[in-house]
Each structure stands twice: as C-alpha cells, then as structure tokens.
Amino acid sequence: MAQDAEPAFSAAAIEALLAPAVGRLEPPTSLSPLPYDLNAGVPDRDSLPVRELQEAFGRALAADAAGALTYGGQQGYEPLRAWIAARQSEETGLPVTSAHVTLTTGSAHGIDNIAATFIGEGDVVVVGAPTYPGAIRTFLARGASIIDVPQDERGILPAALARVLDTRRMTGRQAKMLYVQANYDNPSGATLPVDRRQAIVALAQQHGVLLVEDDAYTGIDLDGPPLTSLYEIAGGRGIMRVGTFSKTIATGLRVGYVTAQPEIIQRLVFMRFDNGSPPVLHRMVHEFLMSGAYDPHVARLRDIYRERRDASANALREFCEPYVTFHQPAGGFFHWLRLQPGLDARSVVAAAQERGVAVTPGTGYYASGGGDDRIRLVFSALGPDDLREAVRRVGEALEAVANRAGRA
C-alpha cells in the first residue's frame, strides 16, 4: 500500500457516513478544566449522599439480587413508579398511578423518548427563547422544525405564544409540541406565574398541541414551594411531565421519569430500544426514598443552594454592576445576566477564561439566534467563597471588555 494512501475509515470518511441530523446540532455544554467552573450546571459534590446510597444499594441487592441484576422491563421498577405517582397524586390532587409513570435514563432521555415517540421530520416544536440546549438538540436530532417564542423575566409570554400558534395554524403546519420549563428555567431562571401557566395550558389545549413540562429543577425551590404545575392545570391530559433525581440526589444515577396519561405512557414504553433503564439503580433509589432520608437531604440541598444563590447575587451586585443586570431566580442553579449595551457575550466569556473562570455565552440557548448580550452563570457547583472570587474575576473581565469597547 502506498505510504500516503488515506487510511480506511478516515475522519473524513466517517463524516460522510453520518446521519443528516448530526450536522444540525451544536455540541453539548461540557465541564471546564478552568479553576472556577461556572459553566456546567452540576450539583454540589460534597453533599452527594454517598453513605446513604451505599446502604440503599446493599439493601436492594440483599432484598432481591436476581431482580436487581436482570432485565427489569421497559417501563421500569413498579415500586419506584408507584412512589413517584403517590407524590404527584398528593401534590396535584389528580389520580396519578404507577401506570402514569415511565422511568427513563435521566430526564434528558425522557425528552428523547418523547421526541422519538411524537416527532418526525418537519414536525413543529415550540420552545421558549431562550431554552435548554439539550432539548433543542434532541428535537433537532429527530427532524423537528423548532420555532421559538419570546420570554421575559417571568418566562414565556402567552400573547406571543398565541401569535406563534395562530401563525402555524394559518400556514397549515400546526405546531405539534410545546416544551416549557415552568420552574426555574435553564438558563433564564424564570418561573412562570400561575396566570401565565393557565394561559399556556389553555392555548395548548385549544390548538391540540402536546405539552412537555420539564421539571428538572423542581425540588431546588429556594423561595418556598413551587407553584401549581402545568400538569395539574391541564388535569393530566395532553401533557408529559419530565422529572429527574439528578438535581436532588445525583446526576450520575441517570434516573428520570415521565408522567402522563397511560395511553401516552404506553406509546413511550413502546418506543424504548434500550431494554429499559437499570433495574439495580431503580431499586437503590427506591430503598433510599423509603428510608426517609430523601426529604431531609433535599431540604439540606435547598439551604446550600440558597446560600450560594445569595452569595453569588451579592457578589454580582458588588463586582459586576453596572455592566450586568439580572433577576434573582426563585430556584434552580443559574443566574442569567443581561450585559450592558456594547458588551458582547463571547468577548466577556473569553476575558473571564483568561482569568480562570468558565461562564457560558447566551448564544447557545436560542433555537433561532440571539443571546449575544447574555451570560449564564452557574451558582450550584462552588461554595460561597469560591463563588465570590469567581464573580470578582468576572467583574474584572467585564471591566476589561468595557474598556476595550470604549476605546474602539
């Protein structure tokens, strides 16, 4: 073989073989090697309930090793589904049973399972602007055409949503799905007020649009209990509520769930191609929940994250005003900063990087462009002192970019 011949399956050859959807997607957010990572929305490492999970794992294996270590079916471990259903039944007053719940490999996979079941090439999915890039990637990968709808600091604007849905109807390509984070939106931190929730549900029902309520951060409620869910307002009809134990127990578990009317759940279960999520983890999580350790653990997490939110908000006021403005989130992991006119997110991110701090430009959170004047800053992963130092450095970065912009 000639020395300079292309090797078989070169990078270029592999590229040529990729599915068309791959080229449509932006890369996912990643962990940063910088000393201060305010980029990845990850929970506090020190409060992982390691000992409790170790014990729960032991109990799960002792109780039924064969059950834990063999295939457990596509819908997942029934007692865990029943626990989730009982919680949601109590919360919503609706008759939620284990038949209304399917277990997924994290809520990211729940969204993918929903997309696999309902979204085909060209189907229209409406999302907020901004929204969770994981959802954008998932819907695009299934061929969706994504339309975004403007938000303000309290989330999606119902009047704008009505216009989008009416326009879709008039063009003959009706929207099929609306993806919403009602509580502590990633990235904007917005929480939809109840009147907007009611208006959004009414619009979805009027237009025959399936609702996806992504509840990833519910539980990380920093200013009191969450407002009435879209699921409750919709009476559990035409809605899929996606939840997860990632933020309240551990992201590494990959245990999430979807709650919906049983006709929908059956179709989601039908569209599983992975032989179900790990039964051993379902049983471990169930043991942990049944031990009574979960609620006090989540209460402790709320205290930790409230302290971090407040420390970072104070540091933002001290070091970053007047270059940024923001609305304090009532829960979740994120501050969403609006940059002063003339400052551009990418330059600020680069300047922060030079100072050892990773923050995320707003541009990745919009399905159809925008976010040059926005930065997402994660407050969940670092302790208050590190957060203060990181935000101080972001302040220096902002000042440097503002000075450069002033000179230009």
Ligand X SMILES: Cc1ncc(COP(=O)(O)O)c(C=O)c1O
Write out the residues near ligand X by the rule CB under 6 A: 41, 106-108, 132, 134, 181, 186, 214, 216, 244, 246, 251, 256
Q: Which is nearer to ligand X, 53 or 398 (CB)?
A: 53
Residue type, 335: H
Q: How far is the CB of 72 from ligand X (least distance, A)?
A: 19
List the structure tokens of 36.
């201060």
Long-range contacts at 66-72 (CB < 8 A, ≥ 24 apart)? 67/279, 67/283, 68/279, 68/280, 68/283, 68/284, 69/279, 69/280, 70/279, 71/275, 71/276, 71/279, 72/276, 72/278, 72/279, 72/282
Residue with tokens 């890039």: 133
Q: Which residue is nearest to ligand X (CB)?
A: 106
Residue with tokens 């403005």: 325
DSSP H stretches of helix in 207-275: 230-233, 262-270
Measured from the CB atom, is 151 or 181 closer to ligand X? 181
Q: Give residues with Cβ within 8 angstroms of 221, minimum separation 6.
A: 183, 184, 302, 330, 331
Strands (E), 184-310: 210-214, 239-244, 256-259
- Min dist CB 132 to ligand X, Å, is 4
The distance of closest approach from Cβ of residue 254 to ligand X in the complex, given in angstroms and rounded to an integer, is 7
Nearer to ligand X, 92 or 186 (CB): 186
Q: Closest separation between CB of residue 395 and ligand X, Å?
A: 26
Closer residue to ligand X (CB): 231 or 319: 231
Q: Which is nearer to ligand X, 189 or 395 (CB)?
A: 189
Cβ distance to ligand X smaller for residue 133 or 395: 133
**Burial level of 242, CB count in 10 A (0-12/13-18/19+)?**
buried
C-beta atoms surrounding 21 within 10 Å: 14
Question: Please, what is the minimum distance in Å from the beta carbon of residue 246 to ligand X?
Answer: 3
Q: How many residues does the chain have?
A: 408
Task: Report in angstroms how near the CB of residue 1 gets to ligand X at its nearest.
Answer: 45
Measured from the CB atom, the residue of 199 and 249 that comes closer to ligand X is: 249
For residues 246 and 256, is the Cβ–Cβ distance under 8 A?
yes
Token pair of 79, please?
Answer: 């007692």
DSSP 269: H
Q: What span, in angstroms and rounded, lies between the C-alpha atoms of 208 and 378?
A: 36
Distance CA 192, CA 181 (A): 8
Q: How far is the CB of 111 from ligand X (least distance, A)?
A: 7
The CB-of-208 to ligand X minimum distance in angstroms stands at 25
Whose Cβ is closer to ligand X: residue 178's or residue 320's?
178
